[in-house]
Chain A
Amino acid sequence: MSLSKEDFIRLHQKGKDLRKLIVDTTFWAGSAHIGGAMSMLDMMVMLYHKYLNIDPADPEKTDRDRFVLSKGHAGVGHAAVLADLGFFDREWLKEFNLTGSNLGIHLDRNKVPGVDISTGSLGHGLSISLGLALGARRQEAGWKTWCILGDGEMNEGSVWEAAMAINHYRATNLITIVDRNRCMIDGETESIMGLDPLEDKLAAFGFDVLSIDGHDLNAIDAAFTHAVHAKERPVCIVANTVKGKSIDFMEDDYTWHYGGIDSDKVELCKSSIENYYRNILN
């Protein structure tokens, strides 16, 4: 089943606005992990604007769904989403990375409303997500935990410890998403430390694996709907994405894992984003 036309337009419009906000924040911050923020953004839009039960006016409400950004370096993308929703003042984004700011590269849950878990060191988020999921089950709470991992971080052994345990405990109230942009700091994932066949490995651990185009909102929506209804096996969505998506000169270029943009580049980024969405929405 596809998204309604209204949702399709609404979510893409939101994606366009957020991508521009990430560009602005990267400019204000001087530099940021813009590539990985752009690759995961369509999942973030779908989560925060269709799936998550959250309330910006009550960020700690007990029955909220939990979200764990295990690839914590993409905090610039998460911060833009939260600011846009009103979890905190958008002006904070202008102080991203500045000394004494509430917002740094890796978001701190004690400083940033809407952030459930402080992340940054790779390979930690999935274990914490499992703890949240088991905690919800123990307390007979209906909320779900969503976790986005980077594909590079799948090199960490602790991710596979967590994968083993998620399936041992059949934590179907935890939904795992891998942002498979195939890039890491030093190069392409398959050249630095090969992960393929990633889907087969995850399936061997017991996951119900869905491999999707991570920029196709209909595919994301279908996968998320499947995941929230999982009863037997925990779902892992491998979202095949493009690093730097929507910004033509960054796309699929691993060197844009982290970078700075000047005011000229800001305009180039925004016009590329405009073009990208014009093609989708027309």
Chain B
Amino acid sequence: MSSPAKGLTFTAIDSTKLNSSEIYGNTLVELGEADPRVVALTADLAKSTKIGIFQERFPERFYNMGIAEQNLFGTAAGMAESGLIPFVSTFAIFTSMRAAEQVHTDICYPRSNVKIIATHAGTSFGQAGTTHHATEDLAVMRSIAGLTVISPADGIETGKAVRAAYQIEGPVYIRINRGFDMQLYADDDYDFEIGRSIQIRDGSDLTIIATGATVYQANEAAKILEKTDGLSVRVINMHSIKPLDNDAVLKALFDTRRIITVEDHNVVGGLGSAVAEVIAESRKSCSFRRLGIQDEFSIIGLHEDLMAHHGIDTNGILEAVRETMGMEFEEDDNWEDDF
């Protein structure tokens, strides 16, 4: 996709040249122009997280707290209590691990209006290795009561997610990647609503529920499977991890009875677990598989190589779909009851 993105939100943002973080930075500037309550904080990662774009525009509303993440999130909590709307950005690993208690106790427990935009999520900081990968953040964050958790598919969706986060009252966690993600959306001419997934393509044989950068990979896999295998594969962009779009999961369960989840995250606790919870409580059987980091520490390499290594790129998803289609599952005579 080579043409600049056009749309209500991104008239000034060329998503072919900007990565998700840069679009976040630009979106934050737009919010800052419109609302003087918007302030931005980071912990010596203004450049890396692109929150520095806001710093250039509003230096007096930008706070660099140094390499001290606990204080970063505690300070943001206090700012929110004073009436400001703090946007806080550091890497997802430090947000979800180093400062997890501040996020939990200082921000979420009092339901403070803090927006956390965590970058370098999943294995996207490839060569930095496990110390800088965040493969548990969804598990940590979605288990905190009252916290909205969003995992946008690309830069366009990052802009939409940041705006949506601003529009609701209360704490929000958005995880985005480090560098350029493959662009899923050509423009921003689609409805983005927290808690409502987006069906990228319809299908009747199997459903892939993906989040973040893996949505693009899943969609590519589905296209190939249609051409080469004659398979009809539904692809769902589950951008909201919490609240999860339970209805979309149940509909996929009913329509296709085969579901594969894909995430750049440990399969324990993230999207796959969230979808599994819905399926398990539906009292319906399903052929189900979780793709992601298989409960191990990540390795070093380019992000695309790591996605391939962990089987969450197009090829890995293709393979998993074919395997799943070859599996038998127990028939249920009363399958259509209760839907």
A residues in contact (CB < 8 Å) with B: 62, 66, 108-110, 116-118, 120-121, 123-124, 126-136, 138-139, 141, 145, 157-158, 161-162, 164-165, 168-169
User: Out of B60, B73, B81, which one reaches A116, CB within 8 Å?
Assistant: B81
Give the chain A neighbours of B109 by CB distance below 8 A: 108, 118
* A117 contacts B74, C-beta separation under 8 Å: no
Contact check, B83 vs A130: say whether CB atoms are below 8 A apart. Answer: no
**Which of A66, A121, A138 contacts B105, CB < 8 Å?**
A121
Contact of A130 among B60, B71, B110 (CB under 8 A): B71
| Complex contact B71–A158 (CB within 8 A) | yes
Partner of B79, one of A110, A134, A141, A161: A134
Are A138 and B68 closer than 8 Å at their CB atoms?
no
Is the CB–CB distance between B82 and A135 below 8 Å?
yes
Beta-carbon contact of A131 and B82 below 8 Å: yes
Across the interface, do B71 and A161 meet the contact criterion of CB distance under 8 Å? Answer: yes
User: Are B105 and A120 touching (Cβ within 8 A)?
Assistant: yes
**B252 interface residue per 8 A CB criterion:** no
State whether B78 touches A131 (Cβ < 8 A). Answer: yes
A interface: dominant SS: helix
Q: How distant is B52 from chain A, measured CB to nearest CB, in Å?
A: 18
CA of A118 to CA of B81, assembled, Å: 11
A132-B78, A138-B39, A138-B84 are known contacts. Are A158 and B70 too (CB-CB below 8 A)? yes
Cα distance, A126 to B105, chains bound together (Å): 14
Ordered by A's residue number, 8 sampled pairs between the chains whose C-beta atoms are within 8 Å are A117-B81, A126-B74, A135-B83, A135-B84, A138-B82, A139-B84, A161-B70, A162-B75
Cα A144 to Cα B60 with chains together (Å): 20
B59 within 8 A of A: no
Q: Check if B80 is an interface residue, CB within 8 A of chain A.
A: yes
Q: Determine whether B14 belongs to the interface, using a CB cutoff of 8 Å to chain A.
A: no
Query: Does any Cβ of A come within 8 Å of B77's Cβ?
Result: yes
Complex CA–CA separation, A158 to B110 (angstroms): 20
Contact-residue size bin, chain B (C-beta under 8 Å from the other chain): 20 to 34
| B76 sits at the interface (CB 8 A) | yes
Question: Residue-by-residue, is B42-71 near A (CB-CB < 8 Å gives 1, otherwise 0)?
Answer: 000000000000000000110101101011
Tell me whether B106 and A127 are in contact (CB under 8 A): yes
- Check A130/B66 contact, CB under 8 A, given A109-B110, A165-B71: no
Given contacts A135-B82, A138-B61, 10 further A-B contacts (CB under 8 A): A117-B78, A117-B110, A127-B75, A127-B77, A128-B81, A133-B78, A139-B83, A139-B84, A161-B70, A169-B63
List of B residues within 8 angstroms of A128 by Cβ: 74-75, 77-78, 81, 106
Interface residues of B (CB under 8 A from A): 39, 60-61, 63, 65-66, 68, 70-71, 73-84, 86, 101-102, 105-106, 109-111
CA A117 to CA B105, docked complex, whole Å: 10
Contact between B111 and A110, CB atoms less than 8 A apart: yes
Contact with A131, one of B60, B68, B79, B111 (Cβ below 8 angstroms): B79
Q: Give chain A residues whose Cβ lies under 8 Å from the Cβ of B110.
A: 109-110, 117-118
Q: Which residues does chain B contribute within 8 Å of A123, judged by CB atoms?
A: 70
Residue of B whose beta carbon sits closest to that of A129? B78
Task: Give Cα distance in the complex from A120 to B109, angstroms.
Answer: 11
What residues of A have a CB within 8 angstroms of the CB of B66 in the complex? 161, 164-165, 168
Give the distance in Å from the alpha carbon of A161 to the alpha carbon of B74 in the complex: 10
A118 / chain B contacts, CB cutoff of 8 Å:
105, 109-110
Contacts of A121 in B (CB 8 A): 101, 105
Give chain B residues whose Cβ lies under 8 Å from the Cβ of A62. Answer: 83
Task: Return the 3 tightest CB-CB contacts between A and B, nearest first.
Answer: A131-B78, A135-B82, A127-B74
Q: Chain A residues with Cβ under 8 A from B76's Cβ?
A: 131
Provide the bound-state CA to CA distance between A130 and B70, in Å: 12
With a cutoff of 8 Å between Cβ atoms, the chain A residues found around residue B83 in the complex are 62, 135, 139
Known: A118-B110, A139-B82, A165-B68. Contact between A130 and B105, CB under 8 A? no
Task: Tell me, in angstroms, the Cα distance from A118 to B112 when the chains sit together.
Answer: 11
Q: Return the chain B residue nearest A136 by Cβ.
A: B82
Q: Are B71 and A135 in touch, CB under 8 angstroms? A: no
Using known A-B contacts A118-B110, A120-B105, A124-B106, determine if residue A131 contacts B75 with beta carbons closer than 8 Å.
yes
Taking CB atoms, residues of chain B closer than 8 Å to A139 are 82-84
Report B-chain residues with C-beta under 8 Å of the C-beta of A136: 82
Q: Which of B39, B71, B73, B82 contacts A132 (CB 8 A)?
A: B82
Q: In the complex, which residue of chain A has the Cβ closest to the Cβ of B75?
A: A131
CA distance A132 to B110 in the complex (A): 14
B44 to chain A, nearest CB (A): 12
Residue contact B68 to A164, C-beta cutoff 8 Å: yes
> A127 contacts which of B60, B84, B102 (Cβ < 8 Å)?
B102
Scoring A128, A136, A139 by chain B CB atoms within 10 A of each residue's CB, the highest score goes to A128
Q: Which residue of A lies closest to B110 (CB)?
A: A118
Chain A residue, CB-CB nearest to B82:
A135
Closest Cβ of chain A to B233, distance in Å, is 46
Question: Do residues B70 and A131 form an inter-chain contact, with CB atoms below 8 A?
Answer: no
Chain A residues near B61 (CB-CB < 8 A): 138
Residue of A nearest to B78 (CB): A131
Q: How far is the CB of A232 from chain B (nearest CB, A)?
A: 20
Question: How far apart sit A157 and B71, CA to CA, in the bound complex (Å)?
Answer: 10
A141 to B83, CA, bound (A): 11
In the bound complex, residues from chain A placing their C-beta under 8 Å from that of B68 are 158, 161, 164-165
- Within the complex, what minimum Cβ distance (angstroms) separates A198 from chain B? 19
Contacts of A116 in B (CB 8 A): 81
